[in-house]
Structure 1
C-alpha cells in the first residue's frame, strides 16, 4: 500500500462498532458508528453484515479514487486464532480492500497507547463489559488470553461486576449474606422499593436486561462511600487487572522493564479513584518499571494507526491522525436491544 493510498480501520466491540477511512498520509477521511459486533451469538457472516453499511458510509464520505489498499480489523469475537482466520476470510470475501488483517479488539487499545516511533512494546488491559489483556514484546512476540469469561478463567468487567453487585445485594436482603448498602442503592436507582422488586423486574422483563450495565457505576459509588462489601469487589477487580498485566509482562520477558501498561475500556477509563489508585499501587509493587496510563481515545484510533504502520508511514502521519477530532465525528452508538454477554469483547462501555 503506497503512502498516497487509503485504508479502512475497524474497531468492533459488543456494544458498538467504529469504522474509519484514512489516507496513508494520516488524514482522517470519514467515520461511521454502528451497533455491536457479536459473531459468537449470530455467526460469522451475519456479524460481518453489520460492518457493510458502515464501510459503505465512509467510502461515500470520501469517494477514494482507487481501491482501498488495506483493511485492519480489531474485532470482538476474534478471541482464538481460528476465529481470527474465519473472520479474516469472511471480510476478505467482501472485497472492501486489497488485503485484510484481523486481530482481537484488545490489540487496538494497545496500539493506541503505544508510541508511534521507536520500540512498540507494552501491555494493554481493557476492562469494559468484560476484561482482557494483550501484550506486544520484542521480535514479534505477543501475549494474550482467550477472554471467554469464566470458561477461560476470567474475573471482572462491568457486566460481571453488575452481576456480583446483584448477588451480594440479594443475599444481604434475605439474610444469607453480609449487610451492604447495595441492597438499598440498587433498587432505589430504578425507583423500586427493594431487592425483591428489582429481582422480579429483571426476571420478568419489566426492566430490560441491558439496563444491568447501570449497576456497575452504582457499585463504585457505594464502594467510594465506604461499604465493605462493595469495596471488596472493587479490590478484587483491581487485583485481577494488575494480575493480567504482570502475567503478560512476565510472559514477554518485560516484567522488570520500563514499558507502557495501557489501561482502557469503560470501567478503567472512568478513573474511579478507588479502583485506579489500587491498580497503580499494585503495579508499582509487582512491576515497578511499568508505566501505567489510561487511554480514553477511541480504540478505532489504534486500528487506524495500524494501517499507517503497515504502510510504512512516518511520524508526521501518525501525529496527524492522532490530532484528528475523532469524538466529534462519531455519533453515539445505538443502545443494544438486550443483555450483553461478558464474554467476547472486553471493551464494551460500562
Structure 2
C-alpha cells in the first residue's frame, strides 16, 4: 500500500490545513483507511453571548468543542449594526482556528432591544460570513440554554429584563430601561432604591441605620444628603451604581428593615416582569433566571420566588445552571 495522502478539513467550503496533532484545525478528527484519508465534514456552529461586561464564544464541530473563548465586551456597539457585525466578525476570527469559517452563527447581544435592531445586525453578519445567522437579545439565550423550547428568560445582573415569545414566535421583552429609570431588581436599581430609602428615613428625622451607614462608607461621603451628588457624579451609571449593591445585602443581614424592604420590593418588581409577559400572552410556565445579582443573593431570589408564586401561581422559576452561551449554540444548531 502506498503512502497515505494528508488532506485538510473543509469548513464552510474552505480547506483548512491539518494540524500536527492529527486533528483538523477545526477540531474535527481525520480518518484514514486503505483508500487514503477521509475527511469529516461536520459543520462548525458558533454561539456567542455578548454580555454587559464579558463576552463568551463557543464553537462546536458536531459534539466536539472546538473553541471556548472569553473576553471583555469593550467596543460592543449594538446600536450601530455594521460596527456590531464587524466586532462580532473580529471576535470569531480571534477565537477560531486560522482559516476556519462557521456554518452558522447565533448571537445573544446585550442591549439588542428591538427586533429591528437585532435583524439589522443579523443581516450584516450574514453578509460577512455568507452563512445563516441569528441575533437576539442576550436574555433570549436562557431558555434554550436550560434545554427548554419555550418559557421566560429573566436576567437580574447589573440591570434587569425579561423576555419570552408569543405562540406564533414573536419576541416580547419587558423591563430594562437603564439604571436611571428602570432596571428594578438589578444591582444598579437596588442601589438607587436603597438611596431613596435612606433619604426618606433622613427626611423622617431618623438616625442613619446600617443601610445608610453602609452607603455613606461605600460612596465615601459623610452624610445622607451627600448621596445625591455622589450618585449624580457617575459617568457610567449602571456600572458605577451597581458595584455598591453588596452594601444593601450586607445591611439586610445586619438587620436593617430599610434594606430588607428594598430587597423585598426588588423581588416583587422582578416578578412583575413575568406577570406583564403573561398578560401579553407569553407562555410563562417555566421562568429561567440568570444574572450575577439574583443568583448570588439568596434573599433576592427568595423574594422573587415568593412574589412570583403570588402573582403568577403556575410559573416555575429555576436558576440557570448552564452558561448562557450554550443557548446561543443551541440556536446556531437550529438555523444550520
| Normalised-by-shorter TM-score class | 0.7 to 0.9
- Does the 8 Å CA contact 2:178/2:238 hold for their aligned counterparts? no
Q: Is the counterpart of residue 290 in structure 1 residue 319 in structure 2? A: no
Q: 2:327 aligns with which of 282, 285, 302?
A: 302
Match in the other structure for 1:345 = none
Q: 2:70 aligns with which of 32, 44, 47?
A: 32
Match in the other structure for 2:53 = 15
CA distance 1:178–1:26, change in 2 (3 Å) = farther
Gaps of 5+ in 1: 312-350
Relative to total residues, which structure has the larger helix share, 1 or 2? 1
Q: 1:89 aligns with which of 123, 126, 132?
A: 123
Query: Which one scores higher on RCO, CA 8 angstroms, separation ≥ 6?
Result: 1
Q: Is the counterpart of residue 54 in structure 1 residue 91 in structure 2? A: yes
TM-score, with structure 1 as normaliser? 0.72
Aligned-partner Cα distance in 2 for 1:268–1:260: 17
Aligned-partner Cα distance in 2 for 1:82–1:164: 32
Aligned-partner Cα distance in 2 for 1:220–1:107: 28
Aligned-partner Cα distance in 2 for 1:261–1:296: 13
Gaps of 5+ in 2: 1-11, 13-39
CA distance 1:63–1:71, change in 2 (3 Å) = same
- Does the 8 Å CA contact 1:124/1:245 hold for their aligned counterparts? no
Q: Which moved more, 1:149-158 or 1:213-222?
A: 149-158
Q: 2:113 aligns with which of 79, 86, 90?
A: 79
- Does the 8 Å CA contact 2:162/2:175 hold for their aligned counterparts? no
SS at match of 1:121: coil
SS at match of 2:102: coil
Q: Which moved more, 1:100-109 or 1:140-149?
A: 140-149
TM-score, with structure 2 as normaliser? 0.74
- Does the 8 Å CA contact 1:17/1:36 hold for their aligned counterparts? no
- Does the 8 Å CA contact 1:38/1:77 hold for their aligned counterparts? no
- Does the 8 Å CA contact 1:11/1:73 hold for their aligned counterparts? yes
Match in the other structure for 1:213 = 242
- Does the 8 Å CA contact 1:6/1:24 hold for their aligned counterparts? yes
Aligned-partner Cα distance in 1 for 2:48–2:282: 30
Aligned residues: 298
| Distance apart, 1:285 and its partner CA | 2.9
